[in-house]
Structure 1
Amino acid sequence: MPRFFINSKDVFDDNINITGEDYNHIKKVLRLKCEEIVTLSDGIGNEYVAEIKDFGDGFVHTKVIESYKNTTEPPIKVTLYQGLPKSDKMDFIIQKSVELGISRIVPVLTERTVVRLDSEKDAAKKCERWNRISQEAAKQCNRGIIPKIEVPISFKEAIKKVHDVPLSLIPYEKESKNSLKQILKSVGDISEVSVFIGPEGGFTEQEIEEAVNCGLSSVTLGPRILRTETAGITVLTILMYELGDVG
């Protein structure tokens, strides 16, 4: 059954209009007809089974047959603060993190970040593209929400955002005492985690010191140094296994 995300504002009683790119996809690509059934998600956890009733000028009018709560969202909220990587690595990180259950991704500009954003317009353009990737990944894996990819911020801004989060982790290759396994055994039942991943080249010692002073836990992921596009996905997988709904 074809599945689409819709805006919750487009839900009127038992009527839902599908607009934008999905309208063209339904009419010109899938060539769906009246009386065919689609599944719709409002991106905030509500799902609808609906029947196509007619096609208007730029919209598909559907009638709700059944509505229910989405059950695919993990019980833990994880935010990834990702050091902005080069080339198309961010696309891969977003896609796989959304599939694994990430709640939000915040690109971070660190001392060793090579990629530079020329203007606010450039940052907004990249952010718009990243959010499209998030939406497509969410649609593919039956997510109930579309994880938001925020506009890039500085490292100093990022570490200040997590002072109220129960657990904030920052993997660091020079950490030798605190392992992720030990940390997770000691935290108990928590509902939110923040994860900081450095770009190519990792974090500087000064950044790690600043992070720890702000309450983040520096952890080791083992004896092997992981690439930036591998590290976040690895931590997220472990978190979903230990604290989420994987396993």
Structure 2
Amino acid sequence: MNLSLNLRRDETEMHKFFTEAENFQGDEAFIYGDDVKHLYKVVRLVEGDKIVLNNYIGEEFLCNIEEITKQSVRVKIIEKLEINNESNIEIYLFQGLPKAAKMDLIVQKATELGVKKIIPTITGRVDVKLKGEFKKLDRLQRIANEACKQCKRTLVPRVEAPVEFKDLLAQADEFDLVVVPYENAENKGMKYIANKYRDKEIKTVAIVVGPEGGFEEEEINTLVENGAEIITLGNRILRTETAGFVCSSLLQYEFGDLGGTI
């Protein structure tokens, strides 16, 4: 029997919670906020149950629940866990601001796909109303937190404040690779990227996705001038929320951890 495999399975089946590093005190830690009610009312954990607790900086601990009140949960730390469910590449998603609740879905699925940061981006064709009304960062960060619990990520991706297109350009040279899925691109796709960068060390990747109206041609030209790779995702035009998912998945398959090790 593979005991290490069984231990790993036990850990992944446990409920996972997050609390700030400052809430760790010696061999104890405390959970506050919405997670308290979720812990005892939704998943119905009780004193004596074990959980995995993450400190938001990539460290995870096996803990025993010692005390549950309506305001907090006190746990005893049993041991630090050597768990890292993060990909070997860091993906930064610059997402053209979409309408309605599409950003909720984008944050949730980007978290599941291992994206490190989601940066709402204001491009030329972003709806004018959205530029002044985007005030959902707290809500979006909570969505990322919840998605992390579900998919057992080690690090919670950050949802950044919206940036202007010019700010995106200023950051372009900080990444090993900048990929822009574009509906008018032809032939060059992820196979081209995989072959071109196969022998290069790719650690940080920026994906730049246009809003529902797409990119202006001038923006595409400017991205090319700044070293971005403009690629196609196939013959079918994808919605703005779908393009980021597909591009992230393909990058994780080619350079990250979706393709397995053998």
Give the structure-2-normalised TM-score: 0.87
**Unaligned stretches of 5+ residues in structure 1:** none
Residues 19-28 or 106-115, more deviating: 19-28
Q: Which residue of 1 aligns with 2:3?
A: none
Q: Which residue of 1 aligns with 2:11?
A: none
**Unaligned stretches of 5+ residues in structure 2:** 1-13
- Counterpart of 1:4 (choices 10, 17, 20) is 17
Query: Where do 1:99-110 residues align within 5 Å?
Result: 99-110=112-123
Quote the offset at 1:175 in angstroms: 2.2
Amino acid at match of 2:111: V
CA distance in 2, matches of 1:195, 1:180: 12
Is 2:36 aligned against 1:19? no
Assess if the C-alpha contact under 8 Å between 2:97 and 2:122 holds in 1.
yes
Distance of aligned partners of 1:176 and 1:10 in 2 relative to their CA distance in 1, 3 Å threshold:
same
Q: Deviations over 1:177-227 (max 9, x none)?
A: 532211221113311100000011210001111111222121222222211
Assess if the C-alpha contact under 8 Å between 1:85 and 1:115 holds in 2.
no
SS across alignment from 1:189: coil
CA distance in 2, matches of 1:182, 1:30: 46
Quote the offset at 1:3 in angstroms: 1.5
Q: Deviations over 1:58-86 (max 9, x none)?
A: 22111111211322110000000000111
Q: Percent identity among equivalent residues?
A: 40
Q: Which residue of 2 aligns with 1:227?
A: 239
Moved over 4 A (4+): none
Q: Deviations over 1:19-60 (max 9, x none)?
A: 111122224444433222111111222111111122457221
Distance of aligned partners of 1:235 and 1:30 in 2 relative to their CA distance in 1, 3 Å threshold:
closer
Amino acid at match of 2:74: H
Assess if the C-alpha contact under 8 Å between 2:175 and 2:205 holds in 1.
yes
Assess if the C-alpha contact under 8 Å between 1:106 and 1:153 holds in 2.
yes
Quote the offset at 1:239 in angstroms: 0.5
Give the structure-1-normalised TM-score: 0.92
Q: Which residue of 1 aligns with 2:180?
A: 170
CA distance in 2, matches of 1:233, 1:69: 29
Quote the offset at 1:153 in angstroms: 1.2
Residues 232-241 or 32-41, more deviating: 32-41
Amino acid at match of 1:218: I
Amino acid at match of 2:30: N
Quote the offset at 1:117 in angstroms: 3.9
- Counterpart of 1:43 (choices 53, 56, 59) is 56
